[in-house]
Structure 1
Amino acid sequence: MEAGIVSYGAYVPRNRILPEEIGKVWGVDGKSMGKGLYINQKSVPSPDEDVVTIATEAARNMMARVPFVDPKDIGAVYVGSESHPYAVKPTSTIVAEAIEATPAMTAADLEFACKAGTAGIQMSLGLVLSGMMKYAVAIGADTSQGAPGDALEYSASAGGAAYLIGTEDVIAKINKTLSFTTDTPDFWRREGQPYPKHGGRFTGEPAYFRHITSAAKMMFDAMGTKAEDYDYAVFHQPNGKFPTRVAAQLGFTEEQIERGLLTPSIGNTYSGAVPLGLSAILDVAKPGDRIFVVSYGSGAGSDAFDITVTDEISKFKRENAPTMDKILEDVVYLDYAQYAKYKGKITLPE
């Protein structure tokens, strides 16, 4: 039995802030900081937006593209995030209710830093391949955190994408998935703490680059492929610099990664980063296109996917929901005061 992506949907808040706007508050050359990170601007959620609303928008866009799918045939909804609004109460049940998949189904929230969304895709794939359910939904979404004045403040953003996984009407077949996982504490946030901490010199090596290259090489070996066998590739994007560098290390060209490289335009959406990048690729993909995907989550692990676009994409109703190009058109720029208010960094006294 074959399985893969039946539909997908994306959502990114329309608000943006520029690196120089952040930098001038802290006496830093924000423009140079943004250039160094290869981030031109980042998305900011409105005060009434959180992981629930972002995941719901993405899931509704996903369902709009497959009007023939009965929501009652969805057996599972998984939402991966590191910024769930509730410590005790799932995001996934709210999203499942919003797309009318309840009550005869299962739901759960997932956490694994920035790869919780791709972990959900793996779980969904296993469930539909086992025959336990017809469809499963995996969502990666975040309203990521960065402490005032910290380097993360220039990149931490908001957005998410949803994927309907099944065995019928598959627009992109998942040929294989595998993972590479270790205990590498490069980035963490303890319960109750508003902002994460990062392990400085561990962030690149042995964290991001070791895990992504290891998972990628495992996939090359498993599939008997190399970089030039793929039309597109997307890697986790904590900034624009890391995925560009790791792609070159693995033999991919700029042309192969440019479509899925969204961080320069929206910042680091954490759990939403790879799902959003893949959605941008699927917006333009043609039958037969082959896609290489590797996520990364601090803590640490990477999930790799080998995907082939099928003939079903030709009749897939992309136009029923906003494509990534459309989502990125409508933006509103904030100053730092508005940004701080929207992110809850400043609040009215009780």
Structure 2
Amino acid sequence: MAGIVGYGASVPSYRIKVEEIAKVWGDNATALKRGLVVNEKSLPSADEDTATIAVTAARYALARSKIDPKKIGAVYVGSESHPYAVKPTATIVSEAVGAAPELTAADLEFACKAGTAGMQMVMGLVDSDMVEYGLAIGADTSQGAPGDALEYTASAGGAAYIIGKNDTLADINETYSYTSDTPDFYRREGQDYPSHGGRFTGEPAFFKHVTNAAKGLFEKTGTEASDYDHACFHQPNGKFYLKVGKMLGFNKEQLEHGLLTPNIGNTYSGAVPLGLSSILDNAEPGEKIFIVSYGSGAGSDGFTLTVNDEILERKELAPFTADIIDDKQYVDYAVYAKYKGKLKM
């Protein structure tokens, strides 16, 4: 089957701390940090959006892949914050990285799992020999209304994956998805901010879909949590991530490299792709990885991967995810509100 040939991460350098947001709305920052397991979040500057994040991540993925970008036959960008309602982000990315025009490209939307859906689509094209290499990206500059709980977590970032059959650094062994019409989170066309489905958010939405996708993947592969060295799940906050990991039998050591939310917030379509990039930065040949994404509306995509010897050389060819995250600059709420377009004329 297809595997990962190259990967790259991108997170804007600006950060805002939970305390700074809580100060504006009179909330208890200590309780919020404990309940959400989030300390701060990333945000885009005035000249950053989903397209610029996707291009940066794609260029890093190309550097690790060492392939000619003209061999890319498909580009899919998953996001719920594409800069244009009618004008694909995928064409911007393909042109920016030097891909040839003889390719298929499209933007994808499925809340926070559009990036992993793109990975599955590229896998299918590669496995069927329709393309030699494909590029799948999950990236977002997510929205949260002023004073809403989402404002403490909704952030910006993304990761890109070049998938092919040759010279892989990690092989994708299996994938499995679980999907239903569960309306826990939604935003209509023209609305600036999303709405919550209230009681649907936790048990019938996130936990049901993530656990069912994980259990289906366990059954399909004949494995269990103890067979894996690393695991990563969608992370709307750190609390949900740690809880679902424990529910499925994973320990803290297996989960630690994929948990990024405490330091960058919820990057939506970029969350699991970024978590996986962090895991690959720390992985050794022969190690096995288990990941499950989640997108409101609702669905989950699961993957199992095995790292091979190519990881040792290739992960050094682009910046590590941790180094990208550590390159940061704090802003106050006024600058945050300006860059996020919360000030309406």
TM-score (norm 2): 0.99
Q: Following the alignment from structure 1 to structure 2, what is the Cα–Cα distance between the partners of residues 124 and 236?
A: 20
Deviation at 1:284, TM superposition (A): 1.2
In the TM superposition, what is the alpha-carbon distance from 1:201 to its structure 2 partner? 1.2
Paired residues for 1:23-42 under 5 Å: 23-42=22-41
Is the Cα–Cα contact under 8 Å of residues 65 and 162 in structure 2 kept in the other structure? no
* 1:82 counterpart letter in structure 2: E
> C-alpha distance in 1, partners of 2:48/2:100?
23
> Does structure 2 retain, via aligned residues, the 8 Å contact 1:139–1:162?
yes
Alpha-carbon offset, residue 244 of structure 1: 0.2
**Is the Cα–Cα contact under 8 Å of residues 143 and 194 in structure 2 kept in the other structure?**
yes
Is residue 227 of structure 2 the alignment partner of residue 229 of structure 1?
yes
Assess if the C-alpha contact under 8 Å between 1:23 and 1:31 holds in 2: no
* 1:64-75 mapped onto 2 (5 Å cutoff): 64-67=63-66, 69-75=67-73
Does structure 2 conserve the Cα–Cα contact (< 8 Å) formed by 1:34 and 1:154? Answer: no
What do the CA deviations read for 1:220-242 (whole angstroms, capped 9, x no partner)?
Answer: 11111000000000000000000
How many angstroms apart in 2 are the aligned matches of 1:343 and 1:306? 36
1:45-84 alignment to 2 at 5 Å?
45-67=44-66, 69-84=67-82
**Gaps spanning 5+ residues in structure 1: where?**
none
Distance 2:89 2:30 in 1: 36
Cα distance in 2 between the residues matched to 1:131 and 1:66:
19
State the shift of 1:319 in Å. Answer: 2.4
Q: Cα offset for 1:64? A: 1.5
TM-score, with length taken from structure 1: 0.97
Deviations 1:268-306 (A, max 9, x none): 000000000000000011110000000000000000001
Q: Which runs of 4 or more aligned residues in structure 1 lie more than 6 Å from their structure 2 counterparts after TM superposition?
A: none
| CA drift at 1:315 | 2.9
2:119 to 121, 125, 129: 121
List per-residue Cα deviations over 1:197-247 (Å, max 9, x = no partner).
011111001000000000000011111100000000000000000010000
The one-letter amino acid paired with 1:117 is G
- AA aligned to 1:7 is G
CA contact (8 A) 1:7 1:65 kept: yes
Q: Which residue of 2 aligns with 1:283?
A: 281
By how many angstroms is 1:66 displaced?
Answer: 2.6
Q: Quote the residue 1:298 is aligned against.
A: 296
Question: 1:330 corresponds to which letter in structure 2?
Answer: D
What corresponds to 2:262 in structure 1? Answer: 264
Question: Which amino acid in structure 2 is aligned with residue 139 of structure 1?
Answer: I
Q: Which residue of 2 aligns with 1:344?
A: 341
Q: CA deviation at 1:21?
A: 0.6
What amino acid sits opposite 1:320 in the alignment? Answer: L
Per the TM alignment, residue 34 of structure 1 is displaced from its structure 2 partner at its CA by: 2.2
Superposed CA deviations along residues 137-194 of structure 1, whole A, max 9, x for unmatched, are 0000000000000000000000000000000001111000010000000000000001
Matched, 1:319 2:323: no
Whole-Å separation in 2 of the counterparts to 1:38 and 1:23:
15
Q: Is it true that 1:18 corresponds to 2:10 in the alignment? A: no
State the 1:76 CA deviation.
0.4
Amino acid at match of 2:141: T
Match of 1:333 in 2: 330
Q: Counterparts of 1:173-184 in structure 2 under 5 Å?
A: 173-184=171-182
Note the aligned Cα RMSD (angstroms): 0.8
Identity %: 67
Which amino acid is 2:248 matched to? L
C-alpha contact 2:71 2:100 (8 A) present in aligned 1: no
Q: CA deviation at 1:24?
A: 1.1
- Counterpart of 1:112 in structure 2 is 110
Amino acid in the other structure paired with 2:88 = P
Q: Distance in 2 between matches of 1:250 and 1:195?
A: 32
Count of residue correspondences: 345
Matched with 2:196 is 198
Q: Which runs of 5+ in 2 are unaligned?
A: none
Q: For 1:119 and 1:230, how far apart are their aligned partners in 2?
A: 22
User: Separation in 1 of the partners of 2:4 and 2:230?
Assistant: 16
